[in-house]
Amino acid sequence: MSESNSSAACMADQNGAVPGEPVKKDENSRRGNWGNQIEFVLTSVGYAVGLGNVWRFPYLCYRNGGGAFMFPYFIMLVFCGIPLFFLELSFGQFTSLGCLGVWKVSPMFKGVGYGMMVVSTYIGIYYNVVICIAFYYFFMSMTNLLPWTYCNNPWNTPDCTGVAGSPRANATFANVSAVVSGVTEIVNRTKRTSPSEEYWRNYVLNISDGIGNFGEVRLPILGCLAVSWVVVFLCLIRGVKSSGKVVYFTATFPYVVLTILFIRGITLEGAVSGIKYYLTPQWEKILDAKVWGDAASQIFYSLGCAWGGLITMASYNKFHNNCFRDSIIISVTNCGTSVYAGFVIFSILGFMANHLGVDVSEVADHGPGLAFVAYPEALTLLPISPLWSLLFFFMLILLGLGTQFCLLETLVTAIVDEIGTDWIIKNKTYVTLGVAIIGFLLGVPLTTQAGIYWLLLMDNYAASFSLVIISCIMCICIMYVYGHKNYFKDVEMMLGFPPPIFFRICWKYVSPFIITFILIFTVIQYKPITYNDYVYPSWSLVIGFAMALSSVICIPIYALFKIAVSEGSTFLERLKNSVRPDPDWGPALQEHRKGRYATTGPESVEVCPLKEDLKDEGKEKLKENETEKKDEIGLTIPGSNGSTLNPTPSA
């Protein structure tokens, strides 16, 4: 290709396309890329929008002051969530490597990548258990009468009081209103429980009396767990090539279901009171550091920051993809979904509270119980309740699978990139299968009668303050060890424009400061975990802290190891060598290695200059081309691709 055409190819738009010419495919033949950018955006939306948007965010919102919680939530989103989201996307896309490989930027900090893998492992284990419970409820909804409607089942106790009357009652909206109008006094009694709660505790979980009493494995839940892992494996059998097609459905259909449930919910009597309870602010709670801690944790949990998934998904992008645009779209979509889901949940809870004559707080349950107790109970009050139940739990399954896909792919990609041999890349499917089998086996204890205790313990400790520590250290490494100027140039090389000044300030100062501030006050106001009236024993809390520290401890351990094996006669020399970028750091494809990443020698590829150099360089090349044309011998025939063909003169 001639030099003039080389310059034209370099002046590509942000997605790597040259106006007026066919789009150049920039595919990494070894790792592969997304089929198109829609697949990446949908996958990232599916990753960020998960079960927590439905059962975690509404619960945190009503527990932490209703609408007042929105203030710290969006503060954390703007100053921490979106900047860190963009940072991780650009980090992974620039190097085309997973959460371990990217730390070639400063090898001493590779422990951060291992910490991300530990966090993703914990979350992947218990997350699929929650999905399998949703599968179980989905299967149990395939009936004419939901099994948690009445109190006449073998698992019910004398304390059970249903909101839908007796089995003989006509299950119409009018009759339900008449039946439940007289049970307010009974429901308010402390010892009374709902049929949905007893179905959850006594039948689905058959819950034991404590975290140390595992009891027996709940075979129906175990079977559903196997189904869940099989579905995840099949969807990832070809990596991003297969999961990228699945997300067209798994990432979009939940919004259809949410909209159907929302329209149905707001048409019910009492829905407005539920929504008011959801939005009415309790401003005094803003002064509670726990509220800010929950807001920060929810942002990290929901957006998936510090899990390693964002880096992994972005690593399959084309080099010039506009990940800045994607980060805004995905982050806003995720948080908007959380708020929207709150309307769906509280409109139904308001309807149930209205018919029971109680406050909304009396019917809103804690944790997963919001999705598996309160909402299913409210659905029994609706005509054709099995249909609404099927839709709701199918939505939960799809939301969960979207996140689980990325959790598994994060671990698989990290392993494959780390080993890096041709054999492991060609046989990536076997790695995926192996990780899925191990994940299933590690999830078996969570299907026992004590499983819910362990699930909540992992949720509260394994993916809490460790996430903010990992995120903070990542910011420090990239901004201050590698250098913010270097990284800003890297982003400009990749996107064609430098990061906006707001993001540069957040990356350098605001995000690390806020994260540190929240972490300190969360530790100060720490309260031991409880589940309803059950108080966790001290030994279980020690295990919880051990799980949280197991991801963080990877960072100093690997740092010490890297310093010890680095070259140098003194500690300071070894320290400097351990933080210096690896020679392989930079864009994965040679055609993108320009500037300080450019290679020299006969095998080096042509390098595209930066935007500011194009004009001057273009003028010089035009002059050179004119000189060359004057000296050319023979007939010059323009080629179809803009190159020149010089036929050999006939003898």
> What CATH number has the domain bearing residue 387?
1.20.1740.10
545 in any annotated domain: yes
Task: Out of 287-291, 303-307, 333-337, 362-366, give the one with best mean pLDDT.
Answer: 333-337
The arithmetic mean of pLDDT across residues 149-168, rounded, is 80
pLDDT for 25 equals: 55
SS (H, E, C) 86-138: HHHHHHHHHHCCCCCHHHHHCHHHHHHHHHHHHHHHHHHHHHHHHHHHHHHHH
595 in any annotated domain: no
Spatial CA neighbour of 465 closest among 545, 374, 575, 379 = 545
Q: At CB < 8 A and 24+ separation, what contacts does 480-487 make?
A: 480/508, 481/106, 481/109, 481/579, 482/105, 482/106, 482/581, 484/508
585 in any annotated domain: no
Asked if residue 121 lies in contact with residue 573, where contact means CB atoms within 8 angstroms, the answer is: no
The arithmetic mean of pLDDT across residues 309-325, rounded, is 95
117 in any annotated domain: yes
pLDDT for 258 equals: 95
Judged against a pLDDT cut of 70, whether residue 346 lies above it is answered with yes
Spatial CA neighbour of 618 closest among 1, 3, 2 = 3
- Check whether 49 is labelled as a binding-site residue: yes
> How far apart, in whole angstroms, are the C-alpha atoms of residue 506 and residue 513?
9
Tens-digit pLDDT profile for residues 572-629:
999 999 999 999 999 999 888 988 898 644 333 333 444 444 444 454 455 555 544 4
Tens-digit pLDDT profile for residues 189-228:
445 688 999 999 999 999 999 999 999 999 999 999 999 9
> How far apart, in whole angstroms, are the C-alpha atoms of residue 409 and residue 307?
12
> How far apart, in whole angstroms, are the C-alpha atoms of residue 260 and residue 98?
38
Pairing relationship of beta strands 530-531 and 534-535 according to DSSP bridges: antiparallel
The arithmetic mean of pLDDT across residues 141-169, rounded, is 83
Judged against a pLDDT cut of 50, whether residue 536 lies above it is answered with yes
The CB-side HSE value for 10 (13 A sphere, CA atoms) comes to 25
240 in any annotated domain: yes
pLDDT for 27 equals: 60
- Check whether 46 is labelled as a binding-site residue: yes
pLDDT for 299 equals: 81
pLDDT for 358 equals: 86
Asked if residue 460 lies in contact with residue 105, where contact means CB atoms within 8 angstroms, the answer is: no
pLDDT for 165 equals: 59
For 305-335, the DSSP string reads: TTSSHHHHHHTTS-TT--HHHHHHHHHHHHH
Spatial CA neighbour of 346 closest among 424, 261, 237 = 261
pLDDT for 641 equals: 35
- Check whether 639 is labelled as a binding-site residue: no
> How far apart, in whole angstroms, are the C-alpha atoms of residue 486 and residue 309?
24
Residue percentage of the chain with pLDDT more than 70 = 83
64 in any annotated domain: yes
The arithmetic mean of pLDDT across residues 344-362, rounded, is 87
Judged against a pLDDT cut of 60, whether residue 142 lies above it is answered with yes
pLDDT for 26 equals: 44
- Structural domain count, the chain: 1
- Check whether 334 is labelled as a binding-site residue: yes
The arithmetic mean of pLDDT across residues 322-330, rounded, is 95
272, exposed or middle or buried, with CB in 10 Å at 0-12, 13-18, 19+? middle
pLDDT for 532 equals: 83
Asked if residue 473 lies in contact with residue 555, where contact means CB atoms within 8 angstroms, the answer is: yes
Residue 321 pLDDT level (bands cut at 50, 70, 90): very high
Contacts of 75 (CB under 8 A, 6+ apart): 295
Helices 323-356 and 82-95, packing angle to 10 deg:
140
Asked if residue 312 lies in contact with residue 413, where contact means CB atoms within 8 angstroms, the answer is: yes
pLDDT for 164 equals: 66
625 in any annotated domain: no
Question: ∠ CA 548-550-552 to the nearest 5 degrees?
Answer: 80
Judged against a pLDDT cut of 60, whether residue 97 lies above it is answered with yes
How confident is the prediction for the chain on average, in pLDDT? 83
24 in any annotated domain: no
The arithmetic mean of pLDDT across residues 223-236, rounded, is 97
Task: Identify which has the larger pLDDT, 581 or 17.
Answer: 581
pTM (predicted TM-score): 0.83
pLDDT for 413 equals: 96
Distance linking the first and last C-alpha atoms of the chain:
27
Task: Identify which has the larger pLDDT, 205 or 179.
Answer: 205
Judged against a pLDDT cut of 50, whether residue 188 lies above it is answered with no
Contacts of 76 (CB under 8 A, 6+ apart): 292, 295, 296, 298, 299, 514, 518
- Which tokens go with 217? 């494995």
Asked if residue 543 lies in contact with residue 96, where contact means CB atoms within 8 angstroms, the answer is: no
- Could you tell me the CA-to-CA distances from 558 to 13, 314, 555 in Å, in that order? 40, 25, 6
Domain holding 574, by residue range, is: 39-155+192-579
The arithmetic mean of pLDDT across residues 456-485, rounded, is 89
Spatial CA neighbour of 447 closest among 130, 139, 231, 210 = 130
Asked if residue 511 lies in contact with residue 475, where contact means CB atoms within 8 angstroms, the answer is: yes
Query: What is residue 448's three-state secondary structure?
Result: strand
Residue 553 pLDDT level (bands cut at 50, 70, 90): very high
Contacts of 418 (CB under 8 A, 6+ apart): 100, 101
Task: Out of 199-203, 279-283, 355-359, give the one with best mean pLDDT.
Answer: 199-203
Asked if residue 67 lies in contact with residue 280, where contact means CB atoms within 8 angstroms, the answer is: yes
Residue 647 pLDDT level (bands cut at 50, 70, 90): very low
- Check whether 302 is labelled as a binding-site residue: yes
